[in-house]
Amino acid sequence: MSGPDDILRNHMKEKLAAGAVVASMAVRLARSIEIAAIAKTAGFDTLYVDLEHNTLSIDTCCQICISAQQIGITPLVRVPANTPDYIGRVLDGGAMGVITPHVRSADEARAMVDLVRFPPLGNRSAGGALSHYQYRSFPAATLNSAMNRATSLVVMLETVAALENVEAIIATEGVDMLLIGSNDLCAEMGITGEFDHPRLKDAFTRSIAAAAKVGKHVGVGGLAARDDLMAQCVRMGARYVSTGTDLSFLISACQQRARFVQQMQP
C-alpha cells in the first residue's frame, strides 16, 4: 500500500523540516510555463505565483503550477482574497500550497485551515483526481492524508493586529508558516520603507520565537533589495526567503547590460 510520500512530495516542506534555508521567487510577469524550468535552473526551491498583485488568470497560474510540481519546484499561489473560489480552485488546479494575505487573528487562520485541509483537519472539498499525484486513484482516506501532508499553508503577517496575535496564529493546527510582509507591516506601523527600524527587527524576533516554540517556520518577504537584512533574518532563525520577482530580476539584468554598453569608450 502506498504511503503519503509515495503519492506526492512537497520538496519545500521537506527542506524546511531538515532545517535548511529555502529560496523562493515570485512570478508576476511570466505568462507561460517556461518560468518553472527557469526557476529550477536558477536554483530556486519554490516559486509563488502572485495573483494578489497582477492580472494573471487562474488558468495561466495553474499551468505554471503544474509545470513546477512535475520538475520538483514547489508551486505556491498568493491568492488575492482568502475565499474558497480562489483557494479551492488554485489548489485543485496545481498549487501545492497557498499564501494567504492579511491574516490578522487565530480565528482567521483557522478559517484558512478549513479551506486548505481535507477532513479531518479541515473541510476542503474533494475535487476528483489531481495533477499533484498524476491523476492516479487511491482510497479517499489515504489521499486526504497525503494531500494534507504535502500542502503548505503560509499565512502572511503584514498588520499590527497579526503581530499582536502572532503566537496564537502560528500555533493554529494546520498552519505551516508565517510570511512576514515587510512593506505592508512597516506601512501599518508608520515606518514606511524604514527596513532598518528596530520595530521591524522586533517583529521578526517575536515571530521567529513564536514559530520555533511550536516547531514551525517564518519566511522573509519584502526585503529583496536588502541582502544584508535577509541574511540577518536567516541568522535569527527565518528559513524561507522571498528573493524577488521575475519582473525585478529582468529589470535588474537589463539595467546592468545597458549600463555596460553605455559606459563603453569608442
Domain boundaries along the sequence of the chain? 4-262
In the numeric block, which cell numbers belong to residue 28? 508576476
53 noted as active-site residue = yes
Q: What is the pLDDT of residues 8-54, one digit of tens each?
A: 999 999 999 999 999 999 999 999 999 999 999 999 999 999 999 99
The fold adopted by the segment(s) 4-262 is TIM Barrel (3.20.20)
Answer yes or no: are the C-beta atoms of 174 and 153 closer than 8 Å.
Answer: yes
**Which of the following is catalytic: 11, 53, 102, 217?**
53
- Residue range 47-68: mean pLDDT, rounded: 97
41: cell is 535552473
pLDDT tens string 188-215: 999 999 999 999 999 999 999 999 999 9
Q: Helices in the chain by DSSP H: which ranges?
A: 4-7, 11-17, 34-42, 58-70, 84-93, 106-116, 140-150, 160-164, 166-171, 182-188, 198-213, 227-236, 246-262
Three cell numbers written together for 90: 488554485
* Residue 4: predicted pLDDT: 52
How far apart are the C-alpha atoms of 79 and 22, rounded to whole Å?
A: 21
